[in-house]
Structure 1
Amino acid sequence: MKDKISIKDIAKITGTSITTVSFVINGKAKEKSISEEVIKRIQKTVADLGYKPNAFARGLRTGKSKTIGFLVDDISKPFFSRIATAVDQLASSHGYKIIFSSIGGDAYRTKEILQIFHERQVDGYIIAITAGIEEDIKSLLIGKTPVVFFDRYLPEIEGDYVITDNYHSTSKATKHLLENGFKNIGFITTNSEEMQLLDRLKGYTHAIDEAGQKTCTLRLNYSNTEDSTSQIKEFLKKNFFLDAVIFATNYLTMDGLQLLRTSDKTLLSNKGLISFDDFELLKFLSPTITAIEQPIDGIAETIIKILIKKLRVAEKTDLKNNVIEIPAKLNIRESSLSRSKGLK
């Protein structure tokens, strides 16, 4: 027996035509009025031989590859990896496979990956836009292949976006600290113009202003963990009066927590703390750390719902673009409670 089985081989074994075998394999037997006996004979042969249709060849015939391209900055980051897992499971339930890629904000690599996806005839894209690839994304949108963006919103790029409600989530977290007696609350973020980070900063600022308190913000130039920790340490030393701190991202939280392993641990250990983005470690520290949990399942479900709808509509240009903001959950733990309740 040949190593690779073809439709031609199946047709020969079953005594049918290549066209008939193709109709059965592609689920078109009923509409082509192929008899039940012939269908069963072909299906049994396919199963016995372990034949797997060539997805790329099928795509050429049908114009549908049943694949979706997924592009993010770095898929190893917890938020992206969790979204990827959830999206993969949901897409599979609709008969689609996901092709994942990290592009790292590299414009040249982005062009390469988009070209590969184009050649593979992906049916749609799920993209978290990173700085430096905006022009490539605009070029992509000229075509009619459906695209859904998530995490990062760029007003100058029209499209469907599914994002966390960063503004209200951070405002709510800040108010929670204020309600628990913290008055001098600092906010640590990066010197980035990414909309999600700016919205978190605005949410914090609004809550502080509304309470009649003063804002105290560090917008650090992020390069690596060691340098970030150093900048956080200097900020906390300079602003020794702070009684609570909100970290705008999970990696900034991790960089800040590095101080707990040093002689400067009191810079952080005696303050109220909240992390934007939750992760497992925060539940096992002492005190446990309050965190804003991004709605992973809600984001993934909405992405797939929008994309599948776009894939099923023949004329995509008639579909209205939407920006959908999904509320996050504040997981309250010991670090944000009033000192009398939980902070040691």
Structure 2
Amino acid sequence: MKKVLLKEIASIAGVVPSTVSCVLNGKAKERRISDDLAQKIKEIAEGVGYIPNQVAVSLRTGYSRILGLIVEDISNIFFATLAKVLEDEVQKHGYRVVYCSTENDKQKGTELLNMLYHRQVDGYIIAPALGMEESIKSLLKQHKPVVLVDRFFPGVGTTNVLVDNYGSTRKAIGFLLRQGYKRIAFVTTNRQMVQMQEREKAYKDELADSLSAVDEHIVLNIDYFNLYPAGREIITAFLLQNEGVDAVFFATNYLGMYGLQSLKTLGWKIPDRIAVVCFDDNDIFKLYSPGITCIRQPIHEIATAAAKRIIGQIESDRQPENEQVLIEGELVIRGSA
């Protein structure tokens, strides 16, 4: 395949090669190139199959215009949606995204950071695994643009963009209490990440502050790495040991999925026998009968805020700020509670 050169695109567009270079490197507005001309050049470049030499671009400009996104599991609907919105947002500014999954393994997470570092990405958007604090501190010491999403490390001075886990969970537990439920179980994982701790604390605080609640914490902490294949069995055994519960809150959507399997196995009808609420939505929750009440995370807002802040850090050449961006979750009421 013949390599298409900038000067060939410039000749077709009737401009000089430097104008083409500015447009394709995302600097059209900076150089005051009209939107119509920039669009024309992009369409010509796409039509002739122009592929930029990223190494050359990086050496010439000092920027790769590539961002690294590290999440827990890219197949999870939350992270997949986050990645898609983020990709669309940064593309407006001429950036591309490389995706990676840690599977909640700190060693894998650190290896992925090293890989992205050697690929000279311009910035890092990370939903970190527990134990990645030192790796992230190392990036900060080198003045690398970093934004953490979904979870963060207290004491590490980063920009963090996430749902208000504490306030959103209190909203959900408060709703169950107002509906008249008194013995509310809480199912979570034993991963000591801050978002899970805040959800559990909110559950306990809301019960403690309610005069109508039974002063009892019915909590199941499941080993994250034992969820598959034992998640359903573990939740089933827990519910049988606590048959007096009249509602259950699942701290993540994947726990909610295991929980629905358990309730089906037990033959417990929702909401007649037990009410169900889950943190985070899932397409299955909409289709399930009855629909599952949940806290819906504002994924679009989280991704947009993260994109704005990482690009701001890169293009202003400023250090990551110690900033906490909390976005309120939405209580979506369906038939399960």
Bucket of the pairwise TM-score, normalised by the shorter protein: 0.7 to 0.9
Per-residue CA deviations over 1:34-73 (Å, capped at 9, x if unaligned) read xxxxx9xx99996785433212211110112211111112
Match of 1:329 in 2: 330
1:135 aligned partner, one-letter code: E
Q: Give the whole-Å Cα distance in 1 for the aligned partners of 2:228 and 2:178.
A: 32
Percent same amino acid among aligned pairs?
Answer: 39
| 1:110, distance to aligned residue in structure 2 (A) | 3.4
Q: Match of 2:281, SS?
A: coil
What amino acid sits opposite 2:283 in the alignment? E
Q: Which amino acid aligns with 1:313?
A: S
Relative to structure 1, the CA distance from residue 272 to residue 253 in structure 2 (aligned partners, 3 Å threshold; closer, same or farther) is same
User: Could you tell me which residue of structure 2 aligns to residue 280 of structure 1?
Assistant: 283
Per the alignment, in what secondary structure is the counterpart of residue 98 of structure 1? Answer: strand
Residue equivalent to 1:218: 220
Q: Secondary structure at the match of 1:323?
A: strand
How far apart are the structure 1 equivalents of 2:70 and 2:165? Answer: 21
CA contact (8 A) 1:70 1:125 kept: yes
Cα distance change on mapping 1:147 and 1:189 into 2, 3 Å: same
Tell me if structure 1 keeps the 8 A contact 2:270–2:290.
no
Per the alignment, in what secondary structure is the counterpart of residue 74 of structure 2? coil
Deviation (angstroms), 1:91? 0.7
Which AA in structure 2 matches 1:25? S
In structure 1, list runs of 5 or more residues that go unmatched.
15-19, 33-38, 337-344
| Aligned residue pair count | 319
Matching of residue 83 in structure 1 with residue 71 in structure 2: no
- Is the alpha carbon distance of 1:65 and 1:229 closer, same or farther for their aligned partners in structure 2, counting shifts above 3 Å? same
Q: Which amino acid is the alignment partner of residue 169 of structure 2? A: T
Residues in 1 aligned to 2:328 and 2:8: alpha-carbon distance in whole angstroms? 55
Q: Offset of 1:190 from its aligned partner? A: 1.3
> CA separation in 2, counterparts of 1:98 and 1:228?
33
Q: Which one-letter code corresponds to 2:78 in the other structure?
A: F
Distance 1:220 1:188 in 2: 8
RMSD: 2.9
Rounded Cα–Cα distance in structure 1 between residues aligned with 2:270 and 2:235: 10
- Cα distance per residue 1:1-49 (max 9 Å; x no partner): x7224458889x99xxxxx6356423489999xxxxxx9xx99996785
Please state whether the residue corresponding to 2:130 is helix, strand or coil. coil
What TM-score, normalized by structure 2, do the two folds share?
0.85
Q: Aligned letter for 2:193? A: E
What is the Cα deviation at residue 87 of structure 1? 0.4
Task: Determine if contact 1:291/1:331 at 8 Å carries over to the other structure.
Answer: yes
Q: Name the residue aligned to 1:21.
A: 17
Structure 2 alignment gaps of length 5 or more = 32-37
Deviation (angstroms), 1:293? 0.3
The structure having more radius of gyration, on CA atoms, is: 1
SS at 2:156 equivalent:
coil
SS in 2 for 1:186: strand
Deviations 1:133-157 (CA, angstroms, capped at 9, x unpaired): 2222221221122110011121032
Q: For 2:107 and 2:233, locate their aligned partners in 1 and report how far apart those are by CA, in whole Å.
A: 33
User: Deviations for 1:203-259, whole angstroms, at most 9, x for unmatched residues?
Assistant: 111111111322211112231244222221121111111111111111111111112
Which shifted more, 208-217 or 220-229?
A: 220-229
Q: Following TM superposition, by how much is the alpha carbon of 1:118 offset from its aligned partner in structure 2, in angstroms?
A: 2.5
How big is each residue's C-alpha offset from its partner over 1:250-277, in whole Å with a ceiling of 9 and x where there is no partner? 1111111112442x12286610110111
Aligned to 2:245: 242
Where relative contact order (Cα < 8 A, 6+ residues apart) is larger, the structure is 2
